[in-house]
Amino acid sequence: MASASPRPSHRRSLRTRRTLVVSAAAVAAAVGAGVLVMNANANPTVDLYHQVLPAKDGWAASGSGTTGGTKADAAHTFTVSTRAQLVKALGSATDTTPRIIKIKGTIDANTNDSGKKLTCADYASGTGYSLSAYLKAFDPSTYGKKAPSGTQETARKAAQDKQKKNIVFRVPSNTTIVGVPGTKAGILGGSVLVQNVKNVVLRNLTFADTQDCFPQWDPTDGSSGEWNSNYDSVTLRGATNVWADHNTFTDAPTFDKTEATYYGRKYQVHDGALDITNGSDLVTVERNQFLNHDKTMLIGSSDTDSTGKLRVTIHHNLWKGIVQRAPLARIGQIHLYNNVYDITTVNGYAPKYSLDSRAKAQVVAERNVWKTPADAKVAKLLSGDGTGSVAGTGNVVNGKATNLVAAYNAANSKKLKTTVNWTPALTTGLQTTVTSLLTDLTGTTGAGTLS
């Protein structure tokens, strides 16, 4: 992938993700204080592009709420189907003029302004980088256990910068980006960056196979070193009032199991799916599908991220084929309710844990549903460092009400705390009965289920 000629698996990665098959059953959309159920094809006059986050629908409803670009005029309403058109529609990240961007079809981020396909070899061209030379330069048996530096590391960074300029899309404040129904709308191989801006809406989009052509070897990461990549499908960094609704996040069609192993570690080209870091605040993540991914959602970039921020609501999402970080939460006040976790190994993605509360995170997890294999241990559904809290009741494992924290604490020395310093109040759509939640969310979440 990151050599003078692209690896076969990465050529395959450029294919468009096959659309998820969804039923014609109802789309559950949180409205007001309840849940309005409407057929996905029943109301063609619904204006997705001007919809705003309903009142009390999670943390993003705080303050003046999250409205995105609903006030956009005709001159700032765009329909785009190529990378170049998307870049033009986004404009400057510092321009706060409300804008609505309708994505029609799948945009391949690894293309140039003329629409020509770009490969990892194209980004490496002229930098002096080659994977074979990099592997030779930093072989742990000769280079040792220190951070890479020198000619090949400099060349790797240069090649990575070339790719970054092409695949990272910076979103300005007061922006709504929505996939046009029925067009398989989304971004392939791209990274949407919402950084130091406010009031952003992302809906009805598939974010697929965001790859870093040039992962860095870090021999100091863990006991054996790791390959680390650089791009999330969506990154919130210092962002405020963001609503992510009815999107699909997936590594497909390039699954981690197809990647090579170097120095005894997987050559990891995928980073996060949706990461919320660097003091981001007032975020609602609802009715998305997170599929086929390892490190899925990080809340808080480090144990010293911003105290008083990182307030995030995560509800009615489907997680399947997820290894870890669903989410990993630090510091903030995080509310998880009515999510479904299908703990099944899919396409080689074997689950480690679902929820990790650490660095004094204050998590309320209530009325979520886990579907696990018969031999799975409930104690392994959670994780923590001994400082994080997980409160909440009504969680269900394989149809049975289960105290997840008690199971985890019984098996671990670093206990999860069971009390938090806040009480959720923004809980639109919270269902107290979760009997049919797995079936309901399978057909009504993710991209392609809004019309």
**What's at 414, amino acid-wise?**
K
Distance in angstroms (rounded) separating the CA atoms of residues 184 and 125: 32
**Catalytic site residue 237?**
no
- Sequence-ordered alpha helix ranges (H) in 138-220: 140-143, 151-167
Residue 29 region, left (φ>0) first, then alpha (ψ -120 to 50), else beta?
beta
φ and ψ at 19, to 5 degrees? -60, 135
CA neighbours within 13 Å on the CB side: how many for 31? Answer: 8
Beta-strand (E) ranges in 302-434?
A: 312-315, 318-324, 328-330, 333-337, 340-342, 355-358, 362-366, 369-371, 382-384, 389-391, 396-397, 400-401
Classify residue 117 by its DSSP letter. Answer: B
| Cis amide leading into 148 (omega within 30) | no
Distance in angstroms (rounded) separating the CA atoms of residues 319 and 250: 10
Q: How many CB atoms lie within 10 A of CB 168?
A: 17
φ and ψ at 277, to 5 degrees? -140, 180
Distance in angstroms (rounded) separating the CA atoms of residues 381 and 289: 19
Helices and strands, counts by H and E, the chain = 8, 34
* CB burial of residue 335 (10 Å; 0-12, 13-18, 19+): buried
H/E element, 266: strand 265-266
What is residue 407's three-state secondary structure? helix
Considering the candidates 17, 325, 330, 367, report the single residue annotated as catalytic.
Answer: 325
Q: Annotated catalytic sites, by residue?
A: 325
